[in-house]
A = this chain, B = another copy of it.
Amino acid sequence: MNCEILAVGSEMLTPFRQDTNSLYLTERMNALGVVLLAKGIIGDNRTVAAAAIRQSLARADILLLTGGLGPTMDDVTREAVALALGVDVVRDPDILTALYKRFAERRIPMPENNARQADVVRGAQPLPNPTGTAPGQWIDTVVDKHRKLIIMLPGVPSEMKAIFTAECEPRLREIIPPSFIAARMLRIAALPESEVDSRTAPIYTTYTDVETTILAANSEIQLHFRSTAVTKDRAQKRVDELCGRVEDELGEAVFSSHGETLEQVVLFFLEMRGETLSTAESCTGGLVAQRITSVPGSSRSYLGGAVVYANEMKTEFADVPTKLLHEHGAVSRPVAAALAEGIRERTGSTLGLGITGVAGPGGGSPETPVGLVYIALADGRETVIKERRFSGDRDRVRWLASMLALDMVRRHIM
């Protein structure tokens, strides 16, 4: 079975607000074995909303609507659903009584437009709202000879969740044939998307019962696998099997097979191997430290580090010899190595990471152009140095440098 979600509200068509209810509903519907076909956001316009509702009902078995159930003239969901189905709305006397009672209890007169919240699409079942005034509505009907469910929920997240959990999930479980979705994600660093695809497509295309999505984001590649089957075990088995074969193909380029972030994986291995890390960052300016310390418990393996923006700081905090800075310049292979070795010595960590480069947009030169980055990892026996020329703006150069630095630590300790 499949569903669509429509969020109704003009404020979600501004640059400032986003629909987030659909993330919750997607997760709950997926858990019931229902796939999301599409989702949409529409404004407070009855005609546009009715057209969108008709289009969704032509494709999906279940349509979930959030928002637009309040008392104002902007709240058009009830009328739009009625218009799409070719029926009228009827004022429900029980809901109306409850509304009057609610206002009376607070000793305030009920504004006239509040009565609109008692309007129910003909044929709909009201869904009690334990925390707000607008009830949800449940419609079980036939459109073009197909059974369709239409579920209308308030836009306030807490009310939406309360009604969905108490009223909709039990009803849906009775209607939806039990099926289960298993999902997993592999995360890959330092490989281009096209290479990941060309190496893995011969594997994943043979799994017609597993849906594979490749996604490039923030300089990592994610492979998402999803499968639906009659039992949870069966779906999970197929996803795990495909995951395993893809991992065999990509080897240690896969840094995460259960959704962990790169920094989580680095900290996991550091702790497992009894290693400790420190950082001396120039061009990344604390980004690597910040990413590592964003993980709870990072203090067990990460000792600390220095943000050595000015040259004097490189000497003060990581003992980089002034001579080295003068001879080779701050952005150079020897200075990267000296940063890594110096911070390791100073902090007493087993591993030291040193990063220097030109993040841009200014500060570049023919010898050290914008995007040039040196990253060094010292373990006391040897120091590995990588040179890269990253393209993109300041944020991107810094982010790519932090990805490579963390991945160097990961590969070293794995």
Which residues of A does B touch, CB under 8 Å?
9-11, 13-18, 20, 23-24, 26-27, 30, 36-44, 48, 51-52, 55, 59, 70-74, 108, 110-114, 131, 156, 158, 183, 192-195, 197-198, 201, 211-217, 222, 224, 279, 281, 284-290, 292-294, 296-299, 302-310, 312-313, 316-317, 346-348, 360-363, 391-396, 398
Contacts and interface: CB of A to CB of B under 8 A. Distances in A.
B292 A285 contact: yes
Contact of A213 (B10, B48, B313): B10
Contact of A303 (B287, B303, B305, B313): B313
B305 A286 contact: yes
Given A38-B48, A131-B392, A304-B310, 5 more contacts: A13-B36, A14-B183, A40-B41, A74-B214, A306-B306
B72 A193 contact: yes
Contacts of A11: 213, 215, 222, 224
Contacts of A13: 26, 36-39
Copies of this chain, tallied across the complex: 2
Q: A interface, by DSSP: helix, strand, loop or mixed? A: mixed
Contacts of A43: 36-38
A307 B286 contact: yes
A74 B213 contact: yes
Nearest to A301: B309
Residue from A36, A48, A307, A346 whose CB has the most chain B CB atoms within 10 Å: A307
Contacts of A286: 281, 286-290, 293, 305, 307
B74 A362 contact: no
A292 B40 CA distance: 36
Given A71-B197, A114-B194, A215-B11, A316 B346 contact: yes
A294 B281 CA distance: 13
B294 A395 contact: yes
B38 A38 contact: no
B26 A15 contact: yes
Contacts of A10: 211, 213, 224
Nearest to A361: B296
A414 B321 CA distance: 37
A260 to B, nearest CB: 14
B392 A193 contact: no
A14 B224 contact: yes
Contacts of A316: 346-347
A308 B304 contact: yes
B112 A198 contact: yes
A197 B306 contact: no
Given A216-B70, A286-B293, A309 B313 contact: no
7 contacts: A15-B26, A38-B42, A108-B192, A285-B292, A296-B361, A304-B308, A304-B313
B48 A59 contact: yes
B52 A38 contact: yes
